[in-house]
Amino acid sequence: MNINNRWPGTDFYDKIQLILTVPAEWSEQKIYIMRECAFNASLIKNIDSTNLKFITETEAAAIYCMKIAKEHFNIVGKKYMIVDCGRDTVDLTTRGLLENGLGEITSGSGDFCGGSFVELEFLRFIKRKVGTGAIELLKEKHYGQYESMIRKFCDHVQISFTGENTSFLYELDLEYICPVLRDYTSGSFRDEMEENEWVIEMNYETVKSFFDPVIEKIIRLIHQLNANEPCSAIFLIGEFSESRYLQSRIRQSFKYLINNISVPSQPTCAIVRGATEYGLKEKAYTVTVNATNEINILLLGETGVGKSTFINAFANYLRYDTINDAQFGEMAVLIPSQFTIMDENFEANKIKIGDYDSNEQTGEEGMSATQGCKSYVFPVDKYTSVRLIDAPGIGDTRGIDKDKENFGNILRHISHYKHLNGICILLKPNNARLSIVFKYCVQELLTHIHKGAKDNIVFCFTNARSTFYRPGDTLPTLRQQLNNLRERSGVEIKTDKNTMYCFDNESFRFLAALRENMKFSEGDIENFGESWKKSVQESWRLFKHVVSLEPHRTEETLSLNNVRKNVMLLSKPLAEIGQLIQINISIIRDQQREIENSNQSIEDLRSRLYTTLLDLDPKNLDYPRTVCTSESCTITIGTNLTKKVDYIKHCHKRCYLTNVDPDTVNNAALRVCSAMKKDGNCSNCSCNWSKHMHITYENVHISKKVVDANVEKQINEKKSYQDLKKAIIEDKEQYINKQKSEQERINAINIKLAQFLRQNAIAAYNDTYSDYLDHFINEERIKKNSDPAIYDDRILRGLETVKREYSEQIAIIKKAIETNDLSMPQISLEEISRFEQELYELPLNGQTLRRIKAEVERGRNATFRHEEKRCTPQGNKFWTKIFKLGS
């Protein structure tokens, strides 16, 4: 379009301002490419034109929702939530509604549960009607008709379905919408479609089943975020928010919690309208898209290493080159803390700095002072800022379970940032022995980090004045642990001068004491003054190195952990399915033997058309339940093959502890369950806490009947008794083979999941599938011990075979990765997603697996709070040098 024709007489380059929206995760490099494109398209006169502004989609949406909130709701000073329901993802953010300006994001979360996942359920339904192969061919060869089918569903169902009319019925005429599908449909699928004249009916329950898993996930996300940051209003925007059923479910779920739930007219235009509002009133809003050079550094360390003091000291190193300047300037205190120092008379003086912060606990020894992740942003100049991400200490006295919770919060916190320039592990310089807890936690940390971040890891030694500003006795032990890691995983983390930095936290404490007018000798002042200078210089060396590194993309670590989380969630359901398969194989073998030994009539054989097998129906518990797993506290119930281990000791039926991994025995978090006495034994069953676990659901054995159409056909054709007998036995053998085939596929996919994690994590992950197989093997042994005379050994032997074959394959993968065997193919994220879907589509056990996994996931939901603090800009000459060198 010719611009002059569209706006005649207007000086476009002088009078028109352009606002372009960009994704929140875009880097400055991508934004600059957009600017170049605008210049090449003649939308701006010169490449640095101020008439072109950028705003993130998140901020544009927030501006539009803020405008509505001020016009229609009286919630100024309160928080509001934006739920952006896109095609693929749903992103949630909460902000404070200010009288003037755009409030900062106070927390956020998101997941893959957008509208496309409803379409995916629709496509699975269609595949069950015409066959997977037919749909895949349609997509490959006639994509236009494939898209037309999806579009019809979206137009007539996805938007208009309300969930209120139980007589709802939608008819999809495939012959009209995608006629070529007839050519790709064959066998029984074609016969059924011909009979129905190529019309597929979708009733109320069917359509509802497309939506419910997706919407329930969105509702859980809102519940989690609102629990952390209670909101006065919710705004639904984005393409999927037009769904009337989604709107209805959210209003119904939150009508007693949140007064104002709004869906703007044309919610898909919210971002465009917000960007327009920003362009018209730009000065009223502060947006973050132009913060050009962010250096993000994650700080990790053992509890008591001095991480909080390090951050306080760093803030002052940014301001002052010397301790003398710091003594007479304004001291920066980001984290409140306290310590004791002796005066010249050896009297103890308690020094307190900073104001109370609920995120910091300064009183209880051994407990991590930092309670949650928090970021501190230091503007160095107009274009550059350094962000230190403070995480709770490793080795918290509240137990390893608390450390695991903290790791999860760290991962959620860094998801707000596009990259990490450095991962600093803080250590004391003179620990000849790294504690067992810390060794465990370093291993756990490296399990979570993508191997692409290995070159971004550095080690910072605090209190290094006592070791002459060198690593000291800690280094040999650290190198030993990292050498062991290299041997196990083939990943090398370097320990040389470029990755090791020595600081003296005591110089900052000395500064705090000076400012409290404590008396020191000239020699002390000179000594600590030199220490200050060395720490400033070491900071310069550290940041010079960090700026020179290729930033680690956080999405790599987050993607790794999403897969890791899914693997963890699937571990128990897959093991339960494995146990179920062995039980059903045993049932069918018994039925084969009975038929083989029988001399009954054809009518008796007809009654054996139906094979009664077992299935699992997971029942959700309202609250986590603490149960005892000791053999003395369990019984086996049910008849021979339907026996299950029942946890008869419900030691705490409604346990209110949070962040406890379900189905995990010897979970340290359960020490503080109200059922436990001070000596660690249970007040109900007298067993030790280590024998207890949380459960969030129970599997109920239900019967299901399977009929063989082939045998039924032979009966109708009046085959002989012997032919029928042979056919039934063969049919049952085929069914056994199908069960075995599914078990083999489950094992094969589990091996691929393990391979992905081993290939991409710095340290190999803990194999939970193997652990759960051990758990169910142990359950079968308990059943056998309770009544060995009637126990069916085939079930136990089957599970042990599954475990042995799985372990052998894992050993091969482990050896290949350790020796860097290039013949071992890399597993991609796309393949992982496909593998999981393949599990759910297993004909015999897929749907059961999906149900159990949903219950496991429901029981493991966690909460998260995001905090960031911006610090006063006040740089010194070192920092200007650093970023000039890094640019």
CATH at residue 354: 3.40.50.300
**Closest C-alpha among 251, 233, 219 to residue 81:** 233
Average pLDDT value over all residues in the chain: 78
pLDDT value of position 860: 55
Identify whether residues 529 and 603 lie together within a single domain: no
Structural domain of 647: 619-696
**Parallel, antiparallel, or unpaired: how do β-strands 692-707 and 610-628 relate?**
antiparallel
pLDDT higher than threshold 50 for residue 363: no
Which has more confidence, 539 or 436? 539
**What are the pLDDT digits (tens) for 252-262?**
999 888 888 98
Average pLDDT value for residue range 400-424: 73
Can you spell out the DSSP letters for 598-612? ----HHHHHHTTEEE
Is 714 contained in some domain?
A: yes
Is 46 contained in some domain?
A: no
Tokens of 472: 């000291």
> Phi and psi dihedrals of 351, rounded to 5?
-105, 125
Cβ contacts of 623 within 8 Å, gap of 6 or more: 653, 654, 655, 656
Is 597 contained in some domain?
A: yes
Identify whether residues 877 and 728 lie together within a single domain: no
**What are the pLDDT digits (tens) for 725-777?**
787 788 888 888 998 999 888 888 877 877 777 777 666 555 555 666 677 78
Identify whether residues 663 and 626 lie together within a single domain: yes
**What are the pLDDT digits (tens) for 804-820?**
776 766 665 566 555 55
Question: What is the domain count for the chain?
Answer: 3
Helix pair 768-786, 554-596: axis angle to 10 deg: 30
Identify whether residues 596 and 497 lie together within a single domain: no
Tokens of 215: 């919407």
Helix pair 829-840, 721-760: axis angle to 10 deg: 150
| Gap between the Cα atoms of 387 and 314, Å rounded | 11
Contact between residue 395 and residue 303 where contact means Cβ atoms under 8 Å apart: yes
Three-state DSSP state, 196: coil
Tokens of 464: 């290094």
Contact between residue 258 and residue 290 where contact means Cβ atoms under 8 Å apart: no
Identify whether residues 785 and 644 lie together within a single domain: no
When mean pLDDT is compared across 112-126, 173-187, 243-257, 286-300, the lowest value belongs to 286-300
Of 630, 662, 696, the last residue of a domain is 696
Of 664, 696, 728, the last residue of a domain is 696
Is 840 contained in some domain?
A: yes
**What are the pLDDT digits (tens) for 532-584?**
999 888 888 888 898 888 888 877 777 676 676 677 677 778 878 888 888 88
| Gap between the Cα atoms of 651 and 676, Å rounded | 9
Identify whether residues 392 and 527 lie together within a single domain: yes
Identify whether residues 531 and 631 lie together within a single domain: no
Helix pair 187-195, 116-130: axis angle to 10 deg: 100
Identify whether residues 832 and 789 lie together within a single domain: yes
Identify whether residues 506 and 573 lie together within a single domain: no
Identify whether residues 597 and 667 lie together within a single domain: no
> Phi and psi dihedrals of 61, rounded to 5?
-60, -40
Is 593 contained in some domain?
A: yes
- What's the chain's Rg over C-alpha atoms? 32
Identify whether residues 350 and 490 lie together within a single domain: yes
Is 123 contained in some domain?
A: no
Three-state DSSP state, 850: helix
Is 172 contained in some domain?
A: no
Can you spell out the DSSP letters for 589-642? HHHHHHHHT----HHHHHHTTEEEEEEEEEEEEEEEEEEE-SGGGEEEESSTTT
pTM (global) more than 0.85: no
Cβ contacts of 830 within 8 Å, gap of 6 or more: none
Is 42 contained in some domain?
A: no
| Gap between the Cα atoms of 677 and 685, Å rounded | 11
Q: Look-up: residue for tokens 């069916």? A: 792
Identify whether residues 623 and 666 lie together within a single domain: yes
Of 655, 673, 696, the last residue of a domain is 696
Q: Look-up: residue for tokens 């962010």? A: 294
Average pLDDT value for residue range 286-293: 46
pLDDT value of position 208: 94
Contact between residue 478 and residue 459 where contact means Cβ atoms under 8 Å apart: yes
Tokens of 763: 């340290």
Count of C-beta atoms within a 10 Å radius of residue 383? 13
| Gap between the Cα atoms of 887 and 882, Å rounded | 9
